[in-house]
Homo-oligomer: A and B are copies of this chain.
Amino acid sequence: MKNFKILHRDGNARAGRLTTPHGVIETPNFNPVGTQGVVKALGPRELKEIGVQIILGNTYHLMLRPGAELIEKFGGLHQFMGWDKPIMTDSGGFQVFSLGVALEHGSSKVVGRKYQKEESRPRLNKITEEGVIFQSHLDGSKHILTPEKSIEIQRKLGADLIVAFDDHESSKHTKAEMEKSLELTEIWGLRSLKKYNRKNWDGKQLMYGVVHGGTHQDLRIRSAHFTDENFDAISIGGIYGDKKMLCRIVEWVSAEVSEDKPRHLLGIGEVEDLFNGVERGMDFFDCVAPTRRARFGSLYICPENGGNKINSFAMSIRQSRYISDKKPIDPACGCYTCLNFSRAYLRHLYSAGEILYHNLATFHNIYFIVNLMREIRSAILEDSFHKLKFQWLGY
């Protein structure tokens, strides 16, 4: 892939550089999620101050509100939201999945808090080979998402990196059901490619194919081969199970795809997973964890200040022990929030329901992860990735 260069390897971990129409992204890298055309509570200038190089927008949410046509009128998502660095959009597949079998199986976790309960509910979608008919979680209106429509929307949004439309298996599916789902992902992947290659296409967007197959090694390998044959960029979707299973899936896939293509682990971004993904050759990650955690008072701390695997490298600012604590969230952190505000003040803002809490807390959490990725990249370039990983994870 001519736009992607691997600069250095440390074991299977890679430090690289991906060039896009909106600038270069240094890898490994983490994409903060800007679901509705905004990374929760942060403006573009704060993202730049943090050093964010790319953000991810959600096709499903943006197509419903404010609508892809509106965003296209503004010249794309970059102009609409005032962000001139790279953007990736997803296919919408995961969100429409969350309206369907994930609701039935009580494992939906994306579309609105009212759907997050772990109980079975009637599905809001219907999957055919043509695509997915679904009801909007906002107003119940009916919509259809097909591979062609997903790509068309992603073209209108104007992202630098886009994703082929995919079907999602549920962890409660039988292997036969998973195989069927994988077939659909393959058919839809080819249709996405066809739409992507149409001559009216501007050709500036890089499209990821998505590797599926659940926790089955043979299905993951089949999907890895298919994706590598057809796409210039590889993403891995449908990750579930424990942290060991994540490692296994990434190992199965990494071993089967071309070395010179960028690799994205979709929807993954907790600290331990970032280390494990990078170690196994992944270049990109995205996750709502930093923004969602911030909203609920969970703020990242590094190992020297109490962060570890058990607490997921986070402390809860809601605890009364911080009520008069003059220290910053993480005394080792160099972010604007930690340089200027105490735990006591942040706890006060949280307790008082003040909006500024969300701004300062999200700033810290995004900075923390982006900075961790910078450290990881430096470590790879200095052949000390495993030392850094051991310092953080103890293994």
In the docked arrangement, what's the CA distance between A68 and B43, Å?
33
**A37: which B residues are within 8 A, CB to CB?**
345, 348-349, 352
In the docked arrangement, what's the CA distance between A44 and B341, Å?
10
**A65: which B residues are within 8 A, CB to CB?**
348, 351-352
The answer to whether B41 and A355 have CB atoms under 8 Å apart is yes
The answer to whether A340 and B40 have CB atoms under 8 Å apart is no
In the docked arrangement, what's the CA distance between A354 and B42, Å?
10
Query: Which B residue sits closest to A340, measured CB to CB?
Result: B82
Q: Does A289 contact B (CB under 8 A)?
A: no
Q: Given A36-B354, A65-B352, do A345 and B82 touch, yes or no (CB 8 Å)?
A: yes
Binds B, one of A155-163, A356-364, A370-378: A356-364
The answer to whether B344 and A74 have CB atoms under 8 Å apart is yes
Nearest CB of B to A50, in Å: 14
- Copies of this chain, whole number: 2
In the docked arrangement, what's the CA distance between A74 and B44, Å?
32
Q: Does A323 contact B (CB under 8 A)?
A: yes
The answer to whether B356 and A42 have CB atoms under 8 Å apart is yes
The answer to whether B324 and A73 have CB atoms under 8 Å apart is yes
Q: Does A59 contact B (CB under 8 A)?
A: no
Q: Does A70 contact B (CB under 8 A)?
A: yes
Q: Does A29 contact B (CB under 8 A)?
A: no
In the docked arrangement, what's the CA distance between A344 and B342, Å?
36
Query: Which B residue sits closest to A82, measured CB to CB?
Result: B340
From residue 60 to 92 of chain A, which have CB atoms closer than 8 A to chain B?
Answer: 65-66, 70, 73-74, 80-82
Q: Does A326 contact B (CB under 8 A)?
A: yes
In the docked arrangement, what's the CA distance between A358 and B353, Å?
13
Q: Given A65-B351, A354-B38, do A340 and B70 touch, yes or no (CB 8 Å)?
A: no
The answer to whether B66 and A356 have CB atoms under 8 Å apart is no
Q: Which of A323, A324, A345, A355 has the most CB of B within 10 A?
A: A355
A residues lining the B interface (CB < 8 Å): 36-38, 40-45, 65-66, 70, 73-74, 80-82, 323-324, 326, 336, 340-342, 344-345, 348-349, 351-352, 354-356, 358-360
What are some 28 contacts across the A-B interface (CB < 8 A)? A36-B348, A36-B352, A36-B354, A37-B345, A37-B348, A37-B352, A38-B349, A38-B354, A40-B355, A40-B356, A41-B354, A41-B355, A43-B359, A65-B348, A65-B351, A65-B352, A66-B323, A66-B344, A66-B348, A70-B323, A70-B324, A70-B344, A73-B324, A74-B326, A74-B344, A80-B344, A80-B345, A82-B341
